């Protein structure tokens, strides 16, 4: 007996016109939801069933949302101590 986990996903659809130079606008509401800003990159994937998948290209440090939430930054003294412990001969 196997347990299958089904995840219900919400799907939003929109119809957009393609401009004469091939551009398609991602609606502002969707850009906001995905945190896509000016100059961000997106990945596009063309599938065999004529589907195009577009997703925000994620930097490795963004893999986990709020990765550093609650972490206080180093003070200058703590940073200097860390440098000295890692590089003791750099004085």
What's the pTM? 0.52
86 and 74 in contact (C-beta within 8 Å)? no
- For 11-49, the pLDDT digits (tens) are 889 999 999 999 999 999 999 988 899 988 999 999 999
Q: Angle at the Cα of 66 (from 43 to 33), degrees rounded to 5?
A: 50
In sequence order, which ranges of 9-63 are alpha helices (DSSP H)? 28-34
> Is 81 contained in some domain?
yes
> Is 35 contained in some domain?
yes
- Reduced to 3 states (helix: H, G, I; strand: E, B; else coil), residue 82 is helix
- For 46-60, the pLDDT digits (tens) are 999 999 999 888 877
> Is 11 contained in some domain?
no
* Number of compact structural domains in the chain: 1
- Tell me which residue range forms the domain holding 38: 28-86
> Is 7 contained in some domain?
no
């Amino acid at each position: 007996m196997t347990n299958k986990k089904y995840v219900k996903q919400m799907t939003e659809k929109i119809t957009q016109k393609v401009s004469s130079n091939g551009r398609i606008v991602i609606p502002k509401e969707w850009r906001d939801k995905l945190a896509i800003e000016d100059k961000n990159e997106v990945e596009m994937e063309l599938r065999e069933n004529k589907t195009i998948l577009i997703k925000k290209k994620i930097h490795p440090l963004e893999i986990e949302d709020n990765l550093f939430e609650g972490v206080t930054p180093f003070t200058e003294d703590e940073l200097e101590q860390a440098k000295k412990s890692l590089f003791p001969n750099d004085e």
